[in-house]
């Protein structure tokens, strides 16, 4: 359903972005205006506006022949994406450590408990894990109180490769993510910016190596 208040181009942007980020789109998949219009429920003109935004976020790319595809990253591009993400999220964690209040700490505890509950199902609930993980990191970014970080982070954090990584985690690796979050909360409680920065850096680098190991073809 199209929101009568939201501009058609925004509706198209949100729905196409969700289609890509929720894993329904396969990296390298070709996208046509007709298909995107069908997904978003709006005409082709606002779809074109939405596509320009998605190209800026590097979620979709054009070939030399101007055909549109869901972005597919090389190993080097994935490494760079995680490296940049680690730098920015570590900076956000350091800023948050000196600005966080008790209510936010309590909320981080609550979200991480939900994340642990999702992991500890007989078969981990990855969808709920991802939602809790997103809220946890979004809250840290909010506490950082940096408009610049707010503009820079989404293109790195929400790219499909991050979602694919979570689906490739073992239960042990998913639990490690919750443990990292507990240590981040401890660093925030201590108001220790250096500790928070260090934990966040290792947290993101661990995610990169989990992705890299899962991406290696089995012999």
Which pTM value belongs to this model? 0.74
Residue count of the chain: 219
Q: Where are the domains of the chain?
A: 8-70, 75-215
Q: For residue 68, what are the β-bridge partners?
A: 31, 62
Question: What letter does residue 22 receive in the DSSP assignment?
Answer: T
* Longest CA–CA separation in the chain, Å: 55
Alpha helices in the chain (DSSP H): 8-21, 33-40, 44-56, 75-97, 102-119, 126-144, 147-152, 154-157, 160-168, 171-189, 193-215
Which fold would CATH assign to domain 75-215? 1.20.120
30-31 sheet: strands from edge to edge: 30-31, 68-70, 60-62
One pLDDT digit (tens) per residue for the chain, 219 residues: 444 567 899 999 989 988 887 657 788 899 999 999 999 999 989 999 999 988 887 788 999 999 999 888 777 877 888 899 999 999 999 999 999 999 999 999 999 999 999 999 999 998 889 889 989 999 999 999 999 998 888 766 655 555 555 666 788 889 999 999 999 999 999 999 999 999 999 999 988 887 777 654 444
Domain at 8-70, CATH class: mainly alpha
């Amino acid at each position: 359903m199209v929101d009568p208040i939201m501009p058609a181009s925004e509706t198209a942007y949100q729905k196409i972005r969700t289609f890509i980020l929720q894993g329904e789109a396969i990296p390298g998949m070709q996208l046509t205006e007709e298909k995107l219009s069908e997904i978003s429920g709006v005409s082709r003109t606002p779809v074109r506006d939405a596509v320009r935004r998605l190209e800026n976020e590097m979620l979709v790319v054009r070939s030399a022949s101007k055909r549109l595809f869901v972005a597919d990253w090389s190993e080097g591009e994935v490494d760079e994406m995680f490296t940049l993400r680690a730098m920015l999220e570590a900076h956000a964690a350091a800023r948050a450590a000196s600005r966080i209040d008790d209510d936010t700490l309590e909320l981080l505890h609550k979200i991480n408990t939900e994340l642990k509950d999702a992991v500890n199902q007989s078969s981990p609930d990855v969808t709920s894990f991802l939602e809790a993980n997103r809220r946890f990191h979004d809250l840290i970014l909010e506490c950082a109180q940096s408009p610049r970080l707010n503009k820079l982070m989404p293109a790195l954090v929400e790219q499909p490769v991050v979602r694919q990584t979570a689906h490739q985690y073992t239960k042990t690796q998913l639990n490690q993510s919750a443990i990292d979050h507990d240590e981040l909360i401890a660093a925030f409680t201590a108001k220790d910016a250096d500790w928070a920065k260090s934990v966040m850096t290792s947290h993101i680098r661990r995610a990169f190596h989990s992705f890299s190991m899962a991406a290696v073809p089995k012999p």
